[in-house]
Amino acid sequence: MTVDDGLLKRLLLAPGPSGFEAPAQEVVRSRLAALGEVQADALGNVWLAVGHGGTPRVAVVAHADQIGLIVTHVDEHGYLFIDKIGGVAPVLVPGRHFVVHGAAGPVQAVGGKKPSHIIPVAERNVAPPLEEQFLDIGAATREDALRRVAVGDPVTFTPDYVQLAPGVVASQALDDRAGVYAMMRALEHYAADPGAAELTGVATVHEETTCMGAKAQARRMEADVLVVVDGDFCSDTPAADAKRLAGEVRLGAGPVLGRGAGSNQRLLAFAREVAAAEGIAVQIKAYPEASSTDADELMATGAATLSLSIPVRYMHSPFEVAHTDDLEAAARLVAALARRAGEVWTGGSFEPRA
Ligand SMILES: [Zn+2]
């Protein structure tokens, strides 16, 4: 499957911790502008409809934000103290390379740590709590540091994009720029070969912290059928276990359909049928309770919802890993689902299928 490497790379290299998504959303806007009028709200959500006014109304949603850190304090020696944006484990900070996204431009930083020699033996295998950790930007004093950074500046791991093998990419923001990529490509596939449905693609904000983007979107959204695309854990590494992750999920084996709380069961069955007809391999995972994605908020609109995940290894780390085939397959599946959505959504109701 042909992946648009350039688009994927631009999406992954754009910094966008929750609350600071503008650079990532700019990549979305500039690309989608070729398809029509891009809309946005004050919160930072960005969306575009292909086949406006068509029925049924199908929406595909992915979150543009990523995890990160935020500067909370600059001490008298110019060291930066931090808090987390979203799920950042303290172990990810010491000895790593970061970028503080200051008003005047990016500032290089490293996570400070004690030399291993002087860490008491009992503490060598644990990271200090985040409030005890700090970043070093090479400043001599507080005043010196404040010339380049400010309290409230967002911080990310140094943006990087690494190809591990053909199709296997590693980068910090695959959760959920992989989903944003699939959403955008689905719109492009659908625009090139449309059906009767309206297909709206949405890039939300704040998912990693409050799901506020999805909450705002849910208030205005009138979709009949909704697909939420997010990253989901892989079970195919020595660090994971299918039994604990509610199912076997392998990298490159296709997008994952969530079965349970995150999906409408009839829509899920229809998605499997469409995938089979299109020759798209899919994987199934159990969702025993909340999906912990934007789907939890958006399902409240009453739309028939499908949780469609991209397999991602090492979630919430500087190098998450995904397979581009899974991204493209998710995009093709969403476009095909939109084309055929009229088969199950008739006269304002979701028809049960035999
Ligand atoms: Zn996510």
Neighbour tally for 31: CB within 10 Å = 22
Q: For the chain, which residues make up each domain, given as ranges?
A: 5-66+172-350, 69-157
CA 293 – ligand 1 centroid, Å: 6
What is the Å distance from ligand 1's center to 182 Cα? 13
- pLDDT tens for each residue of 118-131: 888 877 888 889 99
Ligand 1 centre and the CA of 110: distance in Å?
25
d(C-alpha 66, C-alpha 27), whole Å: 15
**What distance in angstroms lies between residue 177's CA and the mean position of ligand 1's atoms?**
9
Distance CA 150, CA 143 (A): 11
Distance 328 CA to ligand 1 centre (A): 18
Beta bridge pairs of residue 92? none
Give me ligand 1 centre to Cα 231, in Å: 5
> What confidence score (pLDDT) does residue 281 get?
98
CA 194–ligand 1 middle distance (angstroms): 28
**What is the CA(256)–ligand 1 centre distance, in A?**
14
| The CATH fold of domain 69-157 | Elongation Factor Tu (Ef-tu); domain 3 (2.40.30)
What are the tens digits of pLDDT across the range 41-86?
999 999 999 999 999 999 999 999 999 999 999 999 999 999 999 9
Q: Do domains 5-66+172-350 and 69-157 have the same CATH topology?
A: no
Q: How far is the CA of 319 from the centre of ligand 1 (A)?
A: 14
pLDDT at 290: 83
Model's pTM, two decimal places?
0.96
| Residue partners of 129: CB distance under 8 A and separation at least 6 | 90
Q: Which tens digits make up the pLDDT trace of 260-289?
A: 988 999 999 999 999 999 999 999 999 888
Q: Quickly state the pLDDT bin for 353 (edges 50, 70, 90).
A: low
Measured in angstroms, how far is the CA atom of residue 299 from the centroid of ligand 1? 16
Q: Given CATH 3.40.630.10, say whether it is the number of domain 5-66+172-350.
A: yes
- Centroid of ligand 1 to alpha carbon of 208 (angstroms): 7
Q: Is 256 helix (H, G, I), strand (E, B) or coil?
A: strand
CA of 174 to the centre of ligand 1 (A): 8
| Phi, psi (deg, nearest 5) at residue 319 | -135, 80
Fill in the DSSP letter of residue 175. Answer: H
pLDDT in tens, 179-193: 999 999 999 999 999
